[in-house]
């Protein structure tokens, strides 16, 4: 699913601009998977992340077109108006809510006046209004040129269902994991998890996991099934199946130029004979 998102992101960029030789920043780049894709297209990429461990592979590879930078989002030390394209995929979800407005302001600060911004986020399929909040924040800084939506709610729910036996088995085998996992749930959910990871149920779930684990691996690798489920989800659930939102935009002008007003005709003195 992540690979499909990155594919759609790159396709969206290339529909609006060419990136060969362009200066691009990838904010919250992680291990630099998308930074590498941009560099492969000939872009000059600043790959920015707070984690030194995440940036380590990029530093070790010493790639010609990629400059790893350890910095903190949403207030980096990068120069104003310095990038033809600012990219930030799925980073906003890791920020505290009070910093999300600053995050979009930072994207706007870094992009050139004639540059583009690419930004995306996952949408919680179990809550309402997640996209609207993201859209409202984005539109405070950017004029949105195009949205790309993904509808993977069915795919995500099936994967979560197939992962359950493995989680129960791991709790049965690892007491520390069992306690951590149980603490994430409500009182009823915690009791349910403890029961299913108990000495009685753990071995039974281990047998079930022999079937579900290969199915999960097959599902992860099968793009055709994922796309088919996405189409089905979009038809049945419509916006309720939205799982990811991606946009490309340009920076809004700081000031709206006032329209020229027609000149006010000068009042003439009345003639004595009028």
Q: What is the pLDDT of residues 131-183, one digit of tens each?
A: 999 999 999 999 999 999 999 999 999 999 999 999 999 999 999 999 999 99
**pTM score of the predicted model:** 0.83
Q: Which two tokens stand for residue 199?
A: 């000495």
Beta strands in the chain (DSSP E): 23-27, 44-49, 66-70, 83-89, 111-122, 142-150, 244-251
Asked if residues 227 and 150 have their Cβ atoms less than 8 Å apart, the reply is no
- How does pLDDT run across 190-231, given as a tens digit for each residue? 999 999 999 999 999 999 999 999 999 999 999 999 999 999
Instruction: Give the pLDDT of residue 15.
Output: 96
Query: Residue 77 has what DSSP assignment?
Result: -
Cα–Cα distance for residue pair 220/48, rounded to 1 Å = 28
Instruction: Give the pLDDT of residue 269.
Output: 41
Asked if residues 108 and 141 have their Cβ atoms less than 8 Å apart, the reply is yes
**Distance in angstroms between the alpha carbons of the first and the last residue of the chain:** 83
Q: What is the dihedral of CA 242, 243, 249, 252, to 10 degrees?
A: 80
Q: How many residues does the chain have?
A: 274
For tokens 């949105």, the residue is 144
Using a 10 angstrom Cβ sphere, with 0-12 exposed, 13-18 middle and 19 or more buried, the burial of residue 202 is middle
């Amino acid at each position: 699913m992540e690979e499909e998102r990155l594919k759609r992101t790159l396709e969206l960029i290339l529909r609006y601009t060419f990136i060969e030789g362009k200066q691009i920043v990838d904010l919250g780049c992680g291990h630099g998977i998308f930074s590498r894709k941009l560099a492969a297209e000939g872009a000059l990429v600043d790959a920015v992340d707070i984690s030194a461990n995440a940036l380590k592979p990029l530093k070790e590879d010493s790639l010609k077109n990629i400059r790893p930078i350890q910095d903190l989002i949403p207030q980096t030390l990068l120069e104003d108006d310095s990038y033809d394209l600012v990219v930030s995929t799925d980073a906003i979800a890791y920020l505290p809510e009070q910093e999300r407005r600053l995050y979009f302001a930072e994207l706007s600060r870094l992009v050139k006046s004639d540059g583009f911004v690419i930004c995306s986020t996952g949408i919680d399929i179990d809550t309402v209004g997640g996209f609207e909040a993201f859209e409202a924040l984005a539109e405070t800084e950017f004029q949105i040129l195009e949205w790309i939506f993904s509808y993977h709610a069915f795919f995500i729910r099936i994967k979560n269902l197939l992962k359950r036996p493995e989680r129960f088995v791991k709790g049965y085998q690892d007491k520390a994991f069992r306690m951590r996992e149980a603490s994430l749930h409500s009182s009823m959910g915690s009791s349910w998890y403890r029961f299913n990871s108990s000495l009685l149920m753990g071995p039974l779930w281990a047998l079930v996991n022999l079937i579900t684990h290969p199915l999960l691996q097959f599902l992860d690798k099968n793009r055709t099934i994922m796309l088919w489920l996405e189409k089905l989800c979009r038809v049945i659930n419509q916006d309720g199946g939205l799982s990811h939102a991606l946009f490309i935009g340009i920076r809004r002008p700081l000031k709206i130029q006032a329209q020229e007003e027609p000149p006010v005709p000068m009042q003439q003195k009345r003639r004595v004979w009028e």
